[in-house]
Each structure stands twice: as C-alpha cells, then as structure tokens.
Structure 1
C-alpha cells in the first residue's frame, strides 16, 4: 500500500532539510570549494542522484534559503489593499523583517547566519547564482507593478535597494556590532531609501 500524500511530503521535506543542513555545515567548516557533492551526500546519508533530485546545483544547496523568498516582493504588491501604494507596502514589509531580525534583511547576528552570508558574498559562484535569483525577483515584481518600462525600472530599483540595505546591515554585524545596536540605523536607512523610491514612483 502506498504512503499517504501527507506522509510522503513530510519525508521529502525531511530529506531535503537533512541534505541542506549537511551541506551548510560542511561549507561553513571547510569552505564552498573544498567540499564536494559526494562529501555532502555521504554526510546526509543519501546517494548523489537523490541529492540532485532535491537540488539541481551545488550552489542551490546554499542558496535555497534565498530561494524561499523568491517572488516575495511581487507577492507583497499583489496582496496589498487597493488604497496602499506599492512602495508603501514594500516598505512596511521590509520594516517588519527588520523588526523580526530576519536573516534576509541582513539584520541578524546569529553566528551561523553571519558566516552563511560571508560564505555567499565571498564565493564568486554563489554570488553569481544569487544574482540570478535577484533578477528573477525583479522580473516577478515588474509583472506585479504593471506593464511598461516604468514598472521594470521601479522593480529594478526596489530589488537593488533591498540588496544594498541587507548587505549594509550584514557588514556592520560582521564588523562585530550586535543586531539590536544596528537596528535603529537599519530602520533609518530603510525609511530613507523607501521614501526616495516612493517619490520616484509618485506615491508621495
């Protein structure tokens, strides 16, 4: 008798999580280039074909955490109330992420999160793959904002602003400052950046 769909889905999620955790642990300990896919498969106790069923590339073993946020900006724009301008909705969403110290905002001082971002930013193949994720986000956001070059330009600006804000927050923490100390500056920077975006978009 076959397994119920819910149980099968949970097992798949557990396997995917085990593979990803094994990969991140090895990458942080040894460096991305020094760890092979075979090393990861052995640590996770799966075969290489199984690993590649869950993650198409070695880079995806790291960047799946960013992939979980793919299309997030577009979803925020689509889910907003009709009386809320797109830039206002995006600003509120980013501020909420800062309030929760979400890793994607860069404002998180858990040692593994800090080292995870260092790994991504300092490994060329990972940084290049991350750029593709950002371009996908930009495309989705442009579609949510509407047709025409104006929407594409706005989307490019939003994704760039979020990237710069997150990288700036991470750098301050990587330099040794706690997230709670950095947070007021992160909020000011976000408010300033999104105010400029709103003016450019004609939202204010």
Structure 2
C-alpha cells in the first residue's frame, strides 16, 4: 500500500512539473497573455481541469514554486538566534543559501529559472504580483521587529533596508547568470558582495534589534 501511495505521489509530482515546464516554455516563447490554459493543458497532455487541480490560476503557473521565497528574509529574522541582530540573521541566511547554490537567489544553472525571470519581467500583471508578494514579505519582517522593539516606524525602515540589500544581491546574480557566468563563478565572490551590501545597512542599523 505504501509503495502504491509512493508511486501515486511521484506521478502527481511528475505531472505537476510537466505542466509547469510546458507552461513556462509557452509563456517564454509567445508571451504570458497570449497563451491560454487550454493550450497549456493540450501541450501537457492533460485536461484543463487537471491544470487547475495543480495550479489555482494562470499566474500560479509562474509563481507557485517560488512565491514563498519572498518571505525568506522575514523567516530569517523570526528564527534568528539569541544575541543575533536582524541584519546578521538575514546576511547569514543569504550566505547559507549561496553556499547551497539556491535557485531562489539566482545560483542555479537550470534554464527554467531564467525563463521565470524573463516571463515575469515582460508581463505587467506578474510584475505587480511579484511586487505585492515582496511587499508582504517586507511587512511581515517589519511587524516582527515592531513587536520586539515597540517602534513600528524604525522597524519598517529596517525591513525595507534589509529587503533592498538582499534584492540587489539577487538581481546581481541573475544579471550575471543571464550574461553567461556559471553559478560557481558567481558564488565565489558572494561572501564579499554580501559583506558590502549588508555592511551598508549595518552601518545605519548597527546594534538594532539584537535578540535578547
């Protein structure tokens, strides 16, 4: 029974990824707005209903595997260690992800992740959704810091600053990937880049929100 369940789950996972990759290929080739869900279903050899069983909307066909990553920095702040500042926590998490060649920060050679960036950057509705998801992540971090420090205004300043530094690093990774550099080459100087980027934030936030 367990073996049968495992096979069923693998088939479901494979179907989901087939639909996802097919959708991204079509979006990258023809544009997000010019591809229908029915066309994605036909190209994936599934029904339209099956597509919606795996992905709640057409936009989810782009964002489903990545949207949670907009909350990564907030999670780093929430889970930081005693004695660790907010900036130290976000920097540490980023460097751990760089070491792991995490695709969400642009350190994976799989072409599909560049396709996601291309499709999003060329589609205003997807850009808006990405902006709103990023803003929710920043707000979550600000709320966490405000609860600890009692100062919502400074908490928002800190959250925006940390998000901006992290986003700039990720953008640089994707820029270099698109230029043909390997993830290994980009990761080789990730520590130095992160030191400079978060150092700019730290100079203004030094000693802020050190967890008791």
TM-score, structure 2 normalization: 0.79
Which residue pairs with 1:56 in the alignment? 56
1:48-127 paired onto structure 2 within 5 Å: 48-127=48-127
- The alpha-carbon deviation at position 166 of structure 1 amounts to 0.8
Which residue pairs with 1:154 in the alignment? 158
Q: Deviations over 1:24-56 (max 9, x none)?
A: 233234432332111112234444344335433
- The alpha-carbon deviation at position 18 of structure 1 amounts to 4.2
Structure 1 pair 171–12 and aligned structure 2 pair: CA distance change class (3 A): same
1:19-58 paired onto structure 2 within 5 Å: 19-58=19-58
Count residues in correspondence: 201
CA RMSD of aligned residues (A): 2.7
1:177-192 paired onto structure 2 within 5 Å: 177-192=181-196
CA–CA distance in structure 2, aligned partners of residues 84 and 146 of structure 1? 16
- The alpha-carbon deviation at position 131 of structure 1 amounts to 0.7
CA–CA distance in structure 2, aligned partners of residues 6 and 176 of structure 1? 38
Gaps of 5+ in 1: none
- The alpha-carbon deviation at position 144 of structure 1 amounts to 1.9
Q: Is the 8 A contact 1:108 1:170 kept in 2?
A: no
Q: Is the 8 A contact 1:87 1:203 kept in 2?
A: no
For structure 1, which segment, 77-86 or 22-31, has the greater mean C-alpha deviation from structure 2 after superposition? 22-31
- Corresponding residue SS for 2:32: coil
For structure 1, which segment, 12-21 or 23-32, has the greater mean C-alpha deviation from structure 2 after superposition? 12-21
CA–CA distance in structure 2, aligned partners of residues 162 and 196 of structure 1? 12
Q: Is the 8 A contact 2:23 2:40 kept in 1?
A: yes
Gaps of 5+ in 2: none
CA–CA distance in structure 2, aligned partners of residues 40 and 153 of structure 1? 42
Structure 1 pair 7–154 and aligned structure 2 pair: CA distance change class (3 A): farther
CA–CA distance in structure 2, aligned partners of residues 190 and 106 of structure 1? 14
For structure 1, which segment, 13-22 or 87-96, has the greater mean C-alpha deviation from structure 2 after superposition? 13-22
Which residue pairs with 2:141 in the alignment? 141
CA–CA distance in structure 1, aligned partners of residues 113 and 137 of structure 2? 22
CA–CA distance in structure 2, aligned partners of residues 186 and 19 of structure 1? 33
CA–CA distance in structure 2, aligned partners of residues 17 and 115 of structure 1? 14
Structure 1 pair 184–83 and aligned structure 2 pair: CA distance change class (3 A): same
TM-score, structure 1 normalization: 0.82
